[in-house]
Chain A
Amino acid sequence: MANKNQKNNNICGGLYTKKVLETFKNPHNYGKIKNASGIGKVGNIVCGDVMWLYIKVDKSEKIKDIKFETFGCVAAISTSSIITDLAKGKTIKEALKITKDNIITSLGGLPSIKYHCSVLAVDALVEAVYDYFLKSKKEVPADLQKKHEIIQKSKEIIEKRYKKWIK
């Protein structure tokens, strides 16, 4: 499947798939959630992509509702929409298993230059779940803590790279 997507990308010369464009045109689950259980905020407006992901988690730790707000390109909006579809109804444990490749596959492929948008969506979900643990004063699992730290670290690297622009 991944190979097939790759091939399609090459044929289109890195343009968007039909599924990406459809998702972009009619994104699902955008907006805010009041009293969200957790909010994940990733990206930087200077770089051109910002994704905020809101989750509402019920007692059985299922993601009952999920919404996004995104400033960004076609790929960023599509990956935001797709991750809400993929995560909705899953337990947080299951939701954290969603990978960038799941997102890319669900979109029928992404131009390789836009892969970072799928990473951004995964990171936003990780951060939202992390925020849920903090807010509900539960102990953060070790692997989630690690993921959170990696995201924060890469954020620092990006901000360093764009230092001349970020004031």
Chain B
Amino acid sequence: MKNIYLDYAATTPIDKRVLKAMEPYFSIKFGNTMSLHSFGQEAKLALENSRQVLADVINADLNEIIFTGSATESNNLALKGVTLALRKAKATAGHGHIIISSIEHPCIIESAKWLKKQGFQITEVPVDKYGLVNPEDVKNAITNKTILVSIIHASNEIGTIEPIAEIGKFCRNAGVCFHTDASQSFGKIPIDVKKMNIDLLTASSHKIYGPKGAGLLYVKKGIILEPILHGGGQENGLRGSTINVPAIVGFAKATEICQKEMVKEALRLSKLRNKLIREVLKIKNSHLNGPPPLKATARQSHPKKRLANNANFSFDFVEGESLLMQLDMEGIACSTGSACSSFKLEPSHVLLATGLKPQEAHGSLRVSLGRFTTEKEINQLTKVLPKIVKKIREISPYGK
């Protein structure tokens, strides 16, 4: 049997339609967007057309989209760019205050930590057992020193979809900049930056069947950023670097496809995912992490509080890296929040934030579905998983 990939939240394969759209921009339409000649103009046109596609999808204006090299870069630019610009503008007003959630991606956490070293104050708002941020907590955390709030749109680990519009509203009312990391949600659920009161938004290409090496940051008109990459004036001087035209063209094409197929795909995936959850929870001492999935219907094509493609489980007395590798030996690729598989040897901060004990986080398994996931693949996983869990428990001193 062919290897089964169920780690779409980590990255996705490029869709053939995307690859085809990118192809001319490697060797035929290879120009530098900053060149004035026809080669440059051709590249520039492709860049601006792509920008238009991405702006339209989130209801933004053309000049509100900055292309970057990755979602990590976008998140760095959002946090550092906004805070450093505001510090410069209010040079005498002392350092500012930043609010993030306890389930952010490491690139937000590490950026915030770095800003703390520069003198900014950081507040982490908690989440409930499903990973949900309470907008009231954000509201209450805002002080007269707060300059930026950054809350993830959908969790990369447990798929929780945060109440971004409500949080955005509180930030708007308080006159505080609001950023959301939509790396996991972009292309999967509708995003309207105007309706959702979003000032800055991060999206990624390789999570939606586009190439690696392209990300974007939406920056609402009027918000001033301090650039991180200084260079030749690309992206309105906010991101120096020769434009990666093929990747951006691919990003735009990938976005178009996701947008077109969004409702149907979410319905299909949530049905498969719900089946997976039903089957896996038949294993003794297994638990679902994150919000309970809602039943998928045509009208409610994606669950309100959980991404349709995400499932995350914990198995008592089982260590996740062992589980992951046993599955890999059966040809199935998933992910875990176990400490043993992280370079820091610490369990997932997201699972701990939802109240899991470290030993429960060690036994976690993330299964993320995608465009090429079939029912047969899910059946194969639910067939081998109980045996693997049993074997690991046999070796373990606990749980007999």
From A27, A70, A74, contact of B397 by CB (8 A): A70
Residues of B within 8 A of A73 (CB): 319, 321-322, 338, 340-341
Number of residues of chain B lying within 8 A (CB) of chain A = 24
From B322, B338, B358, B394, contact of A46 by CB (8 A): B358
Please provide the 9 A-B residue pairs with the shortest distance between their CB atoms, ordered closest to farther. A73-B340, A69-B397, A73-B321, A71-B396, A48-B339, A52-B397, A45-B359, A46-B358, A48-B362
B339's closest neighbor in chain A, by CB? A48
Residues of B within 8 A of A30 (CB): 394-395
Residues of A within 8 A of B186 (CB): none
Q: A27 CA to B395 CA in the complex, in Å?
A: 9
A30's closest neighbor in chain B, by CB? B395
Residues of A within 8 A of B120 (CB): none
B341's closest neighbor in chain A, by CB? A73
B328's closest neighbor in chain A, by CB? A21
Residues of B within 8 A of A52 (CB): 397
List 16 A-B pairs, Cβ < 8 Å: A16-B325, A25-B326, A31-B394, A46-B359, A47-B345, A48-B339, A48-B340, A48-B359, A49-B340, A68-B395, A72-B319, A73-B341, A76-B340, A77-B322, A77-B395, A162-B358
B338's closest neighbor in chain A, by CB? A48
Does A21 contact B394, Cβ atoms closer than 8 Å?
no
From B319, B325, B329, B394, contact of A48 by CB (8 A): B319
Q: A30 CA to B318 CA in the complex, in Å?
A: 15
Q: Please, what's the 1-or-0 string for A43-84, where 1 marks a CB less than 8 Å from any CB in chain B?
A: 001111110100000000000000011111111110000000
Interface residues of B (CB under 8 A from A): 317-319, 321-322, 325-326, 329, 338-341, 343, 345, 347, 357-359, 362, 394-398
From B345, B347, B398, contact of A113 by CB (8 A): B345
Interface residues of A (CB under 8 A from B): 16, 21, 24-25, 27, 30-31, 41, 45-50, 52, 68-77, 113, 162, 165
Residues of A within 8 A of B398 (CB): 45, 50, 71
Q: A68 CA to B338 CA in the complex, in Å?
A: 22
Residues of A within 8 A of B343 (CB): 113
Among A52, A69, A71, A162, the most chain B Cβ lie within 10 Å of the Cβ of: A71
Q: A70 CA to B362 CA in the complex, in Å?
A: 14
A48 → chain B closest CB, angstroms = 4
B212 → chain A closest CB, angstroms = 18
Does B358 contact A165, Cβ atoms closer than 8 Å?
yes
A74's closest neighbor in chain B, by CB? B325
From A69, A162, A165, contact of B395 by CB (8 A): A69
Q: A69 CA to B319 CA in the complex, in Å?
A: 13
Q: A54 CA to B137 CA in the complex, in Å?
A: 51
Does B396 contact A69, Cβ atoms closer than 8 Å?
yes
Q: A24 CA to B395 CA in the complex, in Å?
A: 11
Does B396 contact A74, Cβ atoms closer than 8 Å?
no
From B319, B329, B340, B394, contact of A25 by CB (8 A): B329
Q: A45 CA to B399 CA in the complex, in Å?
A: 13
A165 → chain B closest CB, angstroms = 5
B357 → chain A closest CB, angstroms = 7
